[in-house]
Structure 1
Amino acid sequence: MNEQAPTYKNHRFPISIVARAVWLYFRFNLSLREVEEMMLERGVEVSYETIRRWCSSHGSSLTARLRRKTPLASDVWHLDEVVVSIGGKKCWLWRAVDQDGYVLDEIVQTRRNTKAAKRLLVRLLKKQGCAPKRIVTDKLRSYGAAKRQLMTNVEHRSHKGLNNRAENSHLPFRKRERTRQGFRSIGSLQHFVSIFSATRNHFVQASSIRSAGLIRAHRINAIAEWKATAHKLA
């Protein structure tokens, strides 16, 4: 019996199947074995180890081609950091989100000081291409010191109660961290959050979209764009 010709760069499955597995894993709070079971329900027999390789190899290429939110000088950046334990050692995931909860950037670092805060701001300025109207942080002094070196004319509000938007952005990551049972290295954490946040940015609507009809339309458009992006990779 002749074997079916391989598709999508020598994969046994077409890109639509690969993209669906990647979507399930990064979009929902599922383990690799749960994704394996959901794929089996669809008639696709694939192991969780293969799904792991798909997510590692093709997650970045898929999310890199998704439409990004246009940076605006009127944006407000909310900055915060959360501790993550890897192999018994502490590191910090530094994250920036805008006024709509859209993740602008995040970086894993081993320090929680001015140098680390400055590195985050440098990445943000380079990626966004413009400074924000205002930054909002907690009371960590490192943010103020870094801001004075890089963005002297930008307003800075530092108050624990003002930074709920950034703190709330950690919650989806914390759920995934528990499902994954932690991370093995700083590199694996950085790789995961870059794909996870890009996927979440694409599918989660802005806080201004409140009606059920608009939410449904946004989800339909997001799914269609995901599939179209996958088709371009085939």
Structure 2
Amino acid sequence: MTSDPATYPGHRFPAEIISHAVWLYHVFSLSLRDVELILAERGITVTHESIRSWCRKFGAEFAAKLRRGRPKPGDTWHLDKVFLRINGVLHYLWRAVDQHGVVLDILVQGRRNGSAAKRFFKRLLAGLKYKPKRIVTDGLRSYGAAKREVLPDVRHRTSRYLNNRAENSHRPTRRRERQMQRFKSPKQAQRFLSAHSMIYGHFRPRRHLMTAAQHQRARAEAFRIWRQETCARAAV
């Protein structure tokens, strides 16, 4: 006898449909209405507002599960920040990646001074429970002030030419920012980008460093972990 599809408490749609909608929204540059249309083509009638609710509720949960299960990060961290204009006010998106291009964490803040850098460093260490051997940043002096206080024993390299890994990792954010017609608030930007960076990166291994067979195995493993964390384990 075939068992009934797994569901999440309080939701009438199967977990497989909900997780698929969240996957579509975060992995591809789609709007909520685009996801609604894709699901409708497959015979699933659901409004874009319901999809918004799913992505808001489950996106963070799925990202947290993926973050807890990911391998230990590399020992060299690249840090960078870009500006975000939210409701006409300038904010800064701080981002850290390891030498393999894996996003470690992001933080949206209103400043880029020493206190903001220190807050980001502490967030990284609290979330990873691990210290790097080296950090690479641009020439912003706020990094040095925070590093001396929070990571005094870690080597610090400043170079505008060695930080391409962190700078390139901002590209998916810029695409989503344009598609969403800018973020509406710092809280919304932080909530969305925290989930997006983890889910998007989970399905984007560094393909140029892999053979075709290695990439296929990495992709299959990414899907296996996604199904496990979003359907088999999370649903009851």
Question: When the two structures are superposed, what TM-score results if normalisation uses the length of structure 2?
Answer: 0.92
Deviation at 1:29, TM superposition (A): 1.0
Q: How many residues align?
A: 229
1: CA distance, partners of 2:178 / 2:91: 16
Seq. identity, %:
49
Deviation at 1:153, TM superposition (A): 1.8
- Secondary structure of the residue aligned to 1:97 is strand
Deviation at 1:7, TM superposition (A): 4.1
Aligned equivalent of 1:115: 115
Residue by residue, what CA displacement relative to the aligned partner does 1:157-179 show, whole Å, maximum 9, x if unpaired?
11111111111010011001111
2: CA distance, partners of 1:191 / 1:26: 12
Task: Please tell me whether the aligned partners of residues 139 and 159 of structure 1 are also in contact (alpha carbons under 8 angstroms).
Answer: yes
Note if 1:106 corresponds to 2:106: yes
Deviation at 1:8, TM superposition (A): 2.0
Aligned equivalent of 2:12: 12
Residue by residue, what CA displacement relative to the aligned partner does 1:177-224 show, whole Å, maximum 9, x if unpaired?
111111111110000011001102321114674211111111111112
Note if 1:76 corresponds to 2:76: yes
Note if 1:141 corresponds to 2:141: yes
Residue by residue, what CA displacement relative to the aligned partner does 1:130-156 show, whole Å, maximum 9, x if unpaired?
221110001111101111112222111
Note if 1:58 corresponds to 2:58: yes
Task: Please tell me whether the aligned partners of residues 137 and 160 of structure 1 are also in contact (alpha carbons under 8 angstroms).
Answer: yes
Aligned equivalent of 1:176: 176
- Secondary structure of the residue aligned to 1:111 is coil
Aligned equivalent of 2:193: 193
1: CA distance, partners of 2:171 / 2:130: 28
1: CA distance, partners of 2:156 / 2:208: 24
- Secondary structure of the residue aligned to 1:117 is helix
Aligned equivalent of 1:3: none
Aligned equivalent of 2:128: 128
| Distance 1:207-1:130 versus aligned 2 partners, 3 A rule | farther
Residue by residue, what CA displacement relative to the aligned partner does 1:21-55 show, whole Å, maximum 9, x if unpaired?
00000011111111111111211111111111100
4+ residue runs over 3 A deviation: 206-209
1: CA distance, partners of 2:128 / 2:160: 25
Aligned equivalent of 2:3: none
1: CA distance, partners of 2:154 / 2:227: 39
Task: Please tell me whether the aligned partners of residues 77 and 97 of structure 2 are also in contact (alpha carbons under 8 angstroms).
Answer: yes
Q: Which blocks of at least 5 consecutive residues in structure 2 are unaligned? A: 1-5
Letter in 1 for 2:70: R
Q: Counterparts in 2 of 1:192-231, with a 5 A limit?
A: 192-206=192-206, 209-231=209-231
Moved more, 222-231 or 169-178: 222-231
Task: Please tell me whether the aligned partners of residues 100 and 207 of structure 1 are also in contact (alpha carbons under 8 angstroms).
Answer: no
Aligned equivalent of 1:233: 234
Task: Please tell me whether the aligned partners of residues 73 and 98 of structure 2 are also in contact (alpha carbons under 8 angstroms).
Answer: no
- Secondary structure of the residue aligned to 2:149 is helix
Moved more, 148-157 or 87-96: 148-157
- Secondary structure of the residue aligned to 1:59 is helix
- Secondary structure of the residue aligned to 1:161 is coil
